[in-house]
Structure 1
Amino acid sequence: MDEHGTQVAYWDGVGATKTFTHPVNHAWLAELNRDARILDYGCGYGRVMAELSEHGFTDVRGVDPSPALIDRGRRSRPDLRFDVMERPPALAYEAASFDVILLFAVLTCVPEDDARRALIDEVVRVLRPGGLLYVSDVPLQDDERSRDRYEAHAARSGTPYGVFATDDGAACRHHERSNLRALLSGFDVLQEREFDVASMNGHQSRAVQLLARRR
């Protein structure tokens, strides 16, 4: 793990070739003005940004700690605004700069408790009061393969149950629902839904999305 817990070496290598799949529920964003200030935190190659742009949103930008993923995004969508995060989770924006922030499959890529808390604190700083946070992530899975991975990694590394390593070297974490909600203690959860999604390595997982408003 690198200094900021961001695994940049992984995301600049094999991670830069992945396809990300968590869907956007556009009904949750239907009432927003099309000029709402939107930040995709951990945007990868800009898949969600492109989809929002195609739905008429005009002020969408993305940040990611991986230069390779940002370069991929810039090459595929030069019309969108991408920035590399130099010292994550710090963002180069003033307080209350955004109306909406998206965290799509980001928390699962930050296994450490302190790093996830710092990330959410920075999100709170740059999201205006009353702004929306849209989280898409992966809770603890109950299939045998996942349970075996959690237990083996916890026994080997002393990490919390739910942390595991992918076959190609990424450190990930699936969360208890209570853990996700505790991270959002400064928010009011407005919507929640579950769905099936393919992971970046092609395995089927049960995922969860939360739409929350900053108090």
Structure 2
Amino acid sequence: MKDLGSQIAYWDSVGATKTFTHPVNLAWLAGVSPNARVLDYGCGYGRVMAELSEHGFSDVSGVDLSPALIERGRQLRPDLRFAALESPPDLTYASASFDVVLLFAVLTCVPDDAAQRALVSELSRVLAPGGLLYVSDMVLQDDERNHSRYATYAQQFGAPYGVFATDDGAVCRHHDIAELRALLSDFDLVEERRIEVATMNGHRSRAVQLLGRKQ
């Protein structure tokens, strides 16, 4: 599973054409200074960055492992700061460089447990004490289609339950909410809400958003 930590070939081809939809709950950021240092990890083509910029946040940066998605973002919003990750999840920023880090629909693309832990640890490193980590991601679905593909992948590859392959070649993961809370256990959980989103392949699916504060 560790070789699925990036899936760069997918994200630099068909993945670079996708539309991402997880909503930003701006109320969760209402108390954050517009000058706060914000990082969008797995920013894709900068959809969330653009929304934050349009709502007055002046210091927003985005990183993604896909040069194709980064180039798409630069074409759409040349005013925003994009950078391609050379060795994800490692970041070139110093410790405590950011006040807010966003992680939108990224963990679903990192199915390996160890890779997820490494990513959250790196994001914690670059967050300043008291900084916010805003996570939006997919939870386990209840329908038969998803149950079948979770079971198939777990049996064939010994993957955690919730891992599956999409029809166009990505390997993704839906999470038990307890798994996500455990992954973020070093943060103080400030808020949690359940939402429904359209997946990158157009299916309606259940998701969750969590807001954690670095201790």
**When the two structures are superposed, what TM-score results if normalisation uses the length of structure 2?**
0.98
Q: Which runs of 5+ in 1 are unaligned?
A: none
Equivalent position of 2:180 in the other structure: 180
Task: Give the whole-Å Cα distance in 2 for the aligned partners of 1:2 and 1:67.
Answer: 21
Equivalent position of 1:115 in the other structure: 115
**SS of residue in 2 equivalent to 1:34:** coil
Equivalent position of 2:59 in the other structure: 59
Task: Give the whole-Å Cα distance in 2 for the aligned partners of 1:82 and 1:197.
Answer: 25
C-alpha displacement of 1:3: 5.0
**SS of residue in 1 equivalent to 2:83:** strand
How many aligned positions are there? 215
Q: Aligned partner of 1:36: which letter?
A: A
CA 3–146 in structure 1, closer or farther in 2 if over 3 Å, else same? closer
**SS of residue in 2 equivalent to 1:167:** coil
1:31-72: CA deviation from partner (whole Å, max 9, x where unpaired): 111000000000000000000000000000000000000000
C-alpha displacement of 1:153: 1.0
1:4–1:88 Cα contact (<8 Å) kept: no
Equivalent position of 1:78 in the other structure: 78
2:93–2:126 Cα contact (<8 Å) kept: yes
Task: Give the whole-Å Cα distance in 2 for the aligned partners of 1:185 and 1:27.
Answer: 23
C-alpha displacement of 1:4: 6.9
Q: Aligned partner of 2:39: which letter?
A: L
C-alpha displacement of 1:155: 1.4
Task: Give the whole-Å Cα distance in 2 for the aligned partners of 1:132 and 1:25.
Answer: 13
| 2:12 is equivalent to residue 12 of structure 1 | yes
Task: Give the whole-Å Cα distance in 1 for the aligned partners of 2:82 and 2:2.
Answer: 22
| 2:134 is equivalent to residue 134 of structure 1 | yes
**SS of residue in 1 equivalent to 2:135:** strand
Report % sequence identity.
70
1:149-190: CA deviation from partner (whole Å, max 9, x where unpaired): 101111121111100000000010111111101111110111
1:4–1:89 Cα contact (<8 Å) kept: no
2:2–2:114 Cα contact (<8 Å) kept: no
1:114-157: CA deviation from partner (whole Å, max 9, x where unpaired): 10000001001000110000000011111111101101111121
Runs of 4+ in 1 over 2 A off after TM superposition: 1-4
**When the two structures are superposed, what TM-score results if normalisation uses the length of structure 1?**
0.98
